[in-house]
Amino acid sequence: MVTFDPEGLTWAQRDGDACVVCHKRWPRPRKRVGRLPDDAPVLACADCAEALLPSPAATVVAFPSR
């Protein structure tokens, strides 16, 4: 689990209201990509989380449908 430095984040990002990567607040970020030193979750939207973390779901999506 990555620990983010809250100094570099906006209040919305620290609150889990905005994506930690692209600052997007809607759709609400849902993927937990790390934590703050006080153990609060750091969230990112699905697209950014996929870029940050190798997502197990992406492996499933990669299979072509038959």
Binding site for Zn ion (CB under 5 A): 19, 21-22, 24, 45, 48
**Minimum CB separation from Zn ion for residue 48, in Å?**
3
Cβ nearer to Zn ion, comparing 42 with 64: 42
Region of residue 23 (phi > 0: left; psi between -120 and 50: alpha; otherwise: beta): left
**Minimum CB separation from Zn ion for residue 43, in Å?**
9
**Minimum CB separation from Zn ion for residue 10, in Å?**
13
The number of CA neighbours under 13 Å toward the Cβ of 58 is 10
